[in-house]
Amino acid sequence: MRDGSTGRGLVPRKVKGFRDLDPATNALRWRLVETASRVYASYGFEHWDTPLLEYADCLGKYLPESNEAAEGVYAFPNPEREPIPDAEGAPLRDVDNRVLFEHALVTLRYDLTAPLARKYAEDLWEGRKNPGRVPPLFRRFQYGPVFRFEQKLDPGRFREFWQLDFDTVGVSDVTCDAEVAMILSDALEALGLARGTWEIRVNSRNLHQGLFERVGLAGDEARCRDVLRVLDKVDKIGVSGVEAELGAGRVDASGSKVDGLRLDAATIGTLTGYLDGTQGAASRADVLGRLEAQVGGTPSGTLGLSELRVIDDTLTALGYGEDRVVFDPSVARGLAYYTGPVFEAVSKLEVRDEHGAIRRFGSICGGGRYDGLVERMLGVRVPATGASIGVDRLADLLSRVEAGRRTSPVLVLALGSRQRVEQHRAAAELRAAGIPAEVYFGMQAKMKAQLAYADARGCAVAVLLGSEEVERGVVALKDLDMGKKLAAGITDRAEWRSGASAQVEVPRAGLVDAVRELLASRG
C-alpha cells in the first residue's frame, strides 16, 4: 500500500526488537507471574505498580545526555512544557521573576528497581520536614514490561521484556538477604522446577572488594570492573581462560584474539586462587573456611565473610541446604550498583544453542543488596535488598521443561445446529469445574477442519455431542495427542467412530469426571 502524496510505502511490520506473543506464551507468562506473586505475597510483600514513563533525571543509571535513545534507554522530550524545579521543588525563575519552562526528558523504564527508588525517595521528600526520621520499612513486589535500547540484538533477546521483582527497603538486617534466597527457592519450586535442576548462587560484593584490597586495585574502579567482567566468565572459559585473559590475552573458540588486562603474575595468581580455591567445597561452611585464607585479612573481606555466615546460619536453621542454595565466589553483579550480598539463580538444564552446541541454560534470575540507590537522589543512604525474575527468560526455561504438556482448552466440536445449546451447556459444565473449554465457532464445519483447528490450538481433548449422542444420553471424547495425524487422516464421522482414533464414549452425566480423568492420565 502506498501513500499517494509522498510515494512512501505502508508495510505492516513490527518495530525491531519487539514481538507479538501467541496465546501459549501469554498463558505461560501469566502462570509464572501469578505463581511467583503468590509466593511473594506469602512473605508479606504487597503488589505495587509504577508508571512505564518516568523523568530521566529520576531514574539515573543510564541518564542520557541527548534527546535520542542512548546508553540503553528509550528517551525523548516530554511534549508538555513544565516548570523547571529548583532544589526545593519550587518553580525556577529568571532574573525578571518569570517561571522557566522546559520539555523535560522522559524515559521508558529500563527496570523496576529504579522506579521503586524514585517512589521511595518521593515519599521521603514529601516528609522532608522530619529529615531525621528512620527510613520506613517498605516491601513490595511488581511485574510488568521494561524497555532497553539494545544496540546489538542477540538471538532470544528483545527490547521489550517483562520483569517480576520483590524488594525490601529500609532494612540492613542480613537475615533479610537470606530471605531473598529463600523466596527465590520457593518460587522456582512452586513453578514446578524439580530440586536439583537449579541452584541459587550467593556471594557478596564485599568479598570482591576485599580481594581488590588484597591485590592493591581497590582505588581503581574501572580496573576493578574489568577484572570482575573476566572473573564472571569462569563458567564459560574455565580458570585457565580467566588466567590468560587477566594476563596477555587469549584466543577464543572462533579464533579471535581477546585482549588481556596485562596484570602481573602475582596479582593473577591471587585472583585465580580466589576462584580455584573453593572448587570441590563440600558445603557453604567449607567455602567460607577457604575464603577466610583468601580475603579474611582485609576490611571488606571480613565484612563479606560475616554477611555470608549470617546467611548460612539462617538458611541452615530453616532447612535450605546445599541442594538449593550454594556459596559461589565467582558470582559478580554490578560493581557500581550492589553493595553487599548478591544472588543468581542458575538452571542446570542443557540446551542446544544456535550453532548446535550443547550448553547450560544458565542464569534465570538474580538480585542483591543495593544501599545507594535512594542516596543518589536525596543524599540519604537507605538500605535495600531484593531480586528480579526475568519473566521471558524463565518462561523460555519452563517451556522447555514442560514441552509436550497441554494447557489449552478442551474443544467442543460443532456437529449440527440443533445441538448447539447442548454443546454450550457441556462447555459451561467443564468451565464451572475449572476445566477450560471452547465451543468451535469456525466457518468450516467439516470434521477435518475442526480437528485441524483443535491441533493448532494445542487442545488436549475434543468433545463430540451430536444428535445421536444427545438421543442416547452419551458424549464421545477423543484424545488429541496425535492431532496432526488425525487432522490429516479423518474426513468424516464414520472414520471418527471407527475406533482407530482413541475415542471413548461415556454417559452424558459423567462428562466432567471423564474429561478430568483423561487429562490427569496425560500428566
Tens of pLDDT, residue by residue over 443-475, are 777 878 888 888 777 788 889 888 888 889 999
Q: Region 211-215: what's the mean pLDDT?
A: 92
pLDDT bucket at 500, cuts 50 / 70 / 90: very low
pLDDT bucket at 149, cuts 50 / 70 / 90: confident
- d(CA 491, CA 114) in angstroms, rounded, equals 58
- d(CA 370, CA 329) in angstroms, rounded, equals 18
- Amino acid making up residue 272: T
Angle of CA points 380, 385, 389, to nearest 5°: 135
Sequence-distant (≥ 6) Cβ neighbours of residue 30 within 8 angstroms: none
Q: What is the DSSP string of 337-386?
A: T--SEEEEEEEEEEEE-TTS-EEEEEEEEEEEE--STTHHHHS----EEE
* Distance between start and end Cα atoms, the chain: 49
Count CA atoms closer than 13 A to 181's CA, side-chain side: 33
Burial environment of residue 395 by CB neighbours within 10 A (0 to 12, 13 to 18, 19 or more): buried
Residue among 112, 170, 119 at smallest CA distance from 146: 112
pLDDT bucket at 46, cuts 50 / 70 / 90: very high
pLDDT bucket at 59, cuts 50 / 70 / 90: confident
Return the C-alpha torsion angle 93, 99, 101, 105, nearest 10: 50
CATH of 410-521, one of 3.40.50.2300, 1.10.357.10, 2.60.40.420, 3.40.50.800: 3.40.50.800
User: What is the pairing mode between strands 341-352 and 198-204?
Assistant: antiparallel
DSSP class of residue 508 equals G
Q: Which residue has the cell 509504577?
A: 50
- d(CA 116, CA 49) in angstroms, rounded, equals 9
- Each domain of the chain, given as residue ranges in start order, spans 53-108, 410-521
What are the cell numbers at 489?
A: 487422516
Q: Is the pLDDT of residue 385 over 60?
A: yes
Q: What is the DSSP string of 90-102?
A: SBPB-TT-PBPEE
Mean predicted lDDT score pLDDT of the chain: 85
Sequence-distant (≥ 6) Cβ neighbours of residue 339 within 8 angstroms: 205, 369, 370, 371, 372
What are the cell numbers at 273?
A: 586462587
Q: Is the pLDDT of residue 285 over 90?
A: yes
